[in-house]
A = this chain, B = another copy of it.
Amino acid sequence: MTGTSIVGVGMTRFGVHDEPLTELFAEAAFPALDDAGVTAGEVDAFYLGNAMGGLTENDTHLAPTLASHVGLAGVPCQRFEDACATSSNAFKHAVRAVQSGEQDVVLVGGVERCSPATGLGTDVMTRIFASAMHRDYEQPSGLTFPGVFALLTRRHMHEYGTTPEQLAAVAVKNHHHGSLNPRAHFGRDVTVEDVLESPVVASPFHLLDCCPFSDGASAVVVASDAVAGTLAGEPVRVAGVGHATDVVPLADKLDLTATQSARDAAAQAYAEAGWGADAVDVAEVHDCFTGAEVLATEALGLFPAGEGGPAAAAGRTALGGEVPVNPSGGLKAKGHPIGATGTAQLVELTEQLRGIAGDRQVAGAERAVAHNLGGDAATTLVTALEVAS
């Protein structure tokens, strides 16, 4: 199996963008290609993550359109829709295509618009997000995603004693990390009191426990190690990729707090990498809500079940702590343009492993994991990256 590396990265600032999706994506893709030191003619294929472009922009066949816009017309293009995990799944397939020798250099990216720049109200967007939940058993009940993660988190509080203050500590940490990230949607610090005094969205979540509706794009260039050695972009090795699903709907899950698909995906990624949670120096996880970060850090094995909340409150996951989580600010503060989130996690971790993350740099980071979840905890991708030896 061919060794595979990320050799170039690019992303827009996450926030509000009103240009066409083609132009928004180009703002991530061209920097990624430039960073890798490859021209469009050297790219063999394009893998796109976009979750809701049909519903938000009446735009479904985006992959060839974006490819044409950035000079890649003709290469095989594919769009993945895997809810919030979509661009991580696109990345997995890109990595497998390079590992198998089918392709040498591929572009992977994600783009999405979720802010009021869509022209849609937050009520309509909330219903659109809910399209990633079970059509027959969950949508008709009125459940939406704050409710999904509130149910998971409430159960975690019941089983382990996780507190609202511990959840708020996740928001405080990620807002602070975001304040150090010029590409973050939110750039200001908040306090535990700010979080607990913000309006309740779906108990136990207050407004500041929730990620924003963001627009943005991100892209990475993946290459075989043989080709990577000839390119200008500093390579970061893809050590392993895990991908699993859990039963749908929520009501059928065996355990609401274990996020089984994340545990299975993490086990796969660690097995492929040949190292485990103990070796992880930095993680980007899917903190669409603060409680989701607690569940994610436990599913990744960074902390035992029930200790994710206390660990966050004790600063163990902050920059300077033993295993910094979401140095980018995470979905919570960096923002969450659905299809762009997975590859944006990989952009941050590539910069961390290159040692160029500036004020957000995790000192001496050599091994990293990304955790990207989609739907009602249905799909999870875990990607393990390491410094090229």
Contact = CB atoms under 8 A, between A and B. Distances in A.
A118 interface: no
B96 A100 contact: yes
16 contacts: A54-B54, A55-B58, A61-B83, A61-B133, A63-B245, A64-B378, A65-B135, A68-B248, A68-B252, A73-B245, A73-B252, A74-B244, A74-B261, A75-B245, A76-B245, A96-B100
A154 interface: no
Given A21-B135, A100-B96, A61 B379 contact: yes
A99 interface: yes
Interface string A237-279: 0000001111111001000000011001000000000000000
Given A52-B54, A99-B100, A135-B21, A61 B375 contact: yes
A168 interface: no
A261 B64 CA distance: 11
A39 to B, nearest CB: 17
Main secondary structure of the interface of A (DSSP, over half): mixed
A11 interface: no
A237 B115 CA distance: 48
Nearest to A136: B20
A73 B246 contact: yes
Interface in A27-74: 51-52, 54-55, 57-61, 63-65, 67-68, 73-74
Given A135-B57, A375-B64, A246 B97 contact: no
